[in-house]
Copies of this chain bind each other. A is one copy, B any other.
Amino acid sequence: MAQIPRLFIRTALHEGAEITLDRDHAHYLFGVMRRGLGDPVELFNGQDGAWRATVSEAGKRGGVLTAEEQVAPQRMPPDLWLLFAPIKKARTDFIVEKAAEMGAARICPVQTDFTNAERIRQDRLQAHAVEAAEQCGGTYVPEVTDLVPLSRMLDDWPAGRRLLFCDEALAGEVRDLPAERGPWAILIGPEGGFSDAERARLRGMDGAHAISLGPRILRADTAAVAAMTLWQSALGDWT
């Protein structure tokens, strides 16, 4: 059974909609995936659910798909942001991919006192989020924001958004998530942990909540998946 390719596109989807493929999508569908006229493709745009479409024109540098039928309703993720401190390139890519799979609504790279990265390739990370959404069967792609200092983000912190942070100093202590629905963010520290100043500020914040992720030190990408699992299974769309 050949898998039906899934593509995220940026145009409206409705019955009979004709979607003009850009060069990258045409290369992927016809070159990499070897699809041709009449073959099925699944499309989503983050708003109109998932649609079955078929290839109505195929060329080396372009093509056209025609949308036929909605096959899944639009499903928005819970209002959860994932804040993380970018680390080595491969791990950063993994964190973005995993945040998209796990159903983050927004992915925010932040500079902490112990973050190495001075800049990120936002476009590349956004492309990873798109690819993960295509792969995981979702109908939504989280926005990847530009790198900003954590301190500035906390200065402008939105009223009412709770913040879950993973505090290695708590190892072994049990802390349950408060049963508070609504907007949340998860903050994953860099490999060197938070600075004392950052930890003090986080602990003093209204609506901030520290949890432990067990007695072993988790790499940042592992910690991101673990923290999102706890949140999704207690407060998110896994329940």
A137 within 8 A of B: yes
| Interface size range on A against B | 20 to 34
Q: Are A222 and B225 in contact (CB under 8 A)?
A: yes
Q: How far is the CA of A136 from the CA of B171 in the complex (A)?
A: 12
Q: Would you give the 0/1 interface string for A67-108, flagging 1 where the beta carbon is closer than 8 Å to chain B?
A: 000000001000000000000000000100110011100000
A238 within 8 A of B: yes
Q: How far is the CA of A218 from the CA of B229 in the complex (A)?
A: 12
A138 within 8 A of B: yes
Q: Are B219 and A135 in contact (CB under 8 A)?
A: yes
**Which of A218-239 touch B at CB < 8 Å?**
218-219, 222, 225-226, 229-230, 232-233, 236-239
Instruction: Give, as a whole number of angstroms, the nearest-CB distance from A12 to chain B.
Output: 23
Q: How far is the CA of A105 from the CA of B75 in the complex (A)?
A: 37
A212 within 8 A of B: yes
The 8 Å CB contact of A237, one of B214, B219, B236, B237, is B214
A121 within 8 A of B: no
Q: Are A136 and B238 in contact (CB under 8 A)?
A: no
A215 within 8 A of B: yes
Contacting residues, chain B, for A98 (C-beta < 8 A): 222
Contacting residues, chain B, for A136 (C-beta < 8 A): 216-219
Interface of A is mostly: loop
A179 within 8 A of B: no
Contacting residues, chain B, for A225 (C-beta < 8 A): 222, 225-226, 229
Q: In the complex, what residue of chain B is closest to A102 when comparing beta carbons? A: B222
Q: In the complex, what residue of chain B is closest to A239 when comparing beta carbons? A: B174
A144 within 8 A of B: no
The 8 Å CB contact of A238, one of B212, B232, B236, B239, is B212
Q: In the complex, what residue of chain B is closest to A214 when comparing beta carbons? A: B238
A110 within 8 A of B: no
Q: How far is the CA of A174 from the CA of B237 in the complex (A)?
A: 10
Query: A174-B239, A238-B214 in contact; A101/B219 too (CB < 8 A)?
Result: yes
The 8 Å CB contact of A230, one of B135, B215, B229, is B229
A-B contact pairs, 6 of them (CB 8 A): A94-B94, A101-B218, A102-B218, A103-B216, A214-B238, A229-B230
Which 6 pairs between the two chains have the least Cβ-Cβ distance? A214-B238, A229-B229, A225-B225, A226-B229, A136-B216, A137-B217
